[in-house]
Each structure stands twice: as C-alpha cells, then as structure tokens.
Amino acid sequence: MNFVSIIMGSKSDYEIMKNCAETLEQFNVQYEMIISSAHRSPERTKTYVKEAEEKGAIVFIAAAGMAAHLAGALASATTKPVIGVPMKGGAMDGMDAMLSTVQMPSGMPVATVALGKAGAINAAYLAIQILAITDKELAIKLKEDRIVKSKAVEVDSKTIEVLI
C-alpha cells in the first residue's frame, strides 16, 4: 500500500497540519500522521522513517517550527521525496523555520512550501502530484480539481465584475 507520511515536530502543529490530512482525504490518498521531533526524539524519527518506507511510504511531509530541523532529518534518512512545511511561531514568527527548511545542503533536497495553512495544503497537493506520476486515476482527479478551482474564480468574478 502506497501512502504519504505526515510528521509533525510538535502537537501544536496539528491544528495547521490537519488541513494537509483533509486535503489528502479529499483525493482518497492514504496517509499516516505522527509527532516526532528531530531534536527531542531523533531515534524515534529515524526508526519511524525506516518502518514507514517498509510499509510503503512514498512521500514524507515534515512540519516544524523554529529551527525546523525535521525536514532535513527526514531527508538524511530517506531517498524518498521530502516536503517541508515551515510553521509560524517562535521569536521570528516562522521566518526562522522557513529559512531552515529551504536551506538544505546539496544532495539532501527538501521541497519547501509556504508557511502555515497554505503550506500544509500545498504539501498535500505536491505529494498528490508526485503520486499521480504513476497513478492515472489520481492524475485525472487533480485535473478535475483544477477545473473546479478555475470555474470558482469565474463565478466569484461575476459577482463583482465591472467591465467596459
């Protein structure tokens, strides 16, 4: 069974990351979600990555704030795609997490998405796009989703349009 793994560095990340899970659910994509910290529980993190790969994890999504080392820790433990979601908070309100997530050394790539809720949702979409490379049904669902979003913009526009 192929699935997406969502790992949060702290329980406080859940309120944002549940948006990631809900997006995956909309596309019927299986996922696991756990809390594991690169700093507070490094052995748990490393062990989980190995076990998740053995069970069929295809993509890892890491959500962390402040030093945001989690995505890098995952990238060092797997050759599967890792998507980092920097979380707001701390002294720099997420800027530190964003910089930590995006600045990985060469050979340890982490795809970095936006801060917070938009990032959580986009991480799910990026994971779905990766899975859709080999899943035609999922690829069709993604295209249909884009059409729905496009039509919604047109509907919204019609409620306020002023054209000459």
> What is the predicted pLDDT for the residue at 10?
93
Residue 43: domain span: 3-134
Report if residue 155 sits inside a domain: no
The annotation status of 13 as a binding-site residue, yes or no, is: yes
The pLDDT value recorded for residue 94 is 86
pTM of the model: 0.94
User: Residues in the chain with pLDDT < 50?
Assistant: none
CATH number, domain at 104?
3.40.50.1970
pLDDT for res 91: 80
The string of pLDDT tens digits covering residues 7-16 is 999 999 999 9
Domain-located, residue 160: no
Q: How many domains does the chain have?
A: 1
| Residues sharing a CB contact under 8 Å with residue 124, sequence separation 6 or more, in sequence order | 4, 19, 20, 21, 23, 24, 29, 61
| Residue 142 falls inside a structural domain | no
The answer to the question of whether 93 is labelled as a binding residue is: no
- pLDDT tens digits, 119-135: 999 999 999 999 999 99
Average pLDDT, the chain: 95
The answer to whether 40 is a known ligand-binding residue is yes
User: By the 8 A CB rule, do 116 and 88 touch?
Assistant: yes
DSSP lists the bridge partners of residue 8 as 35, 63
Give the pLDDT of residue 121. 98
Pick from 131, 128, 133, 160: which is nearest to 145 by CA?
Answer: 128
Examine residue 153 and state whether it is found in any structural domain, yes or no: no
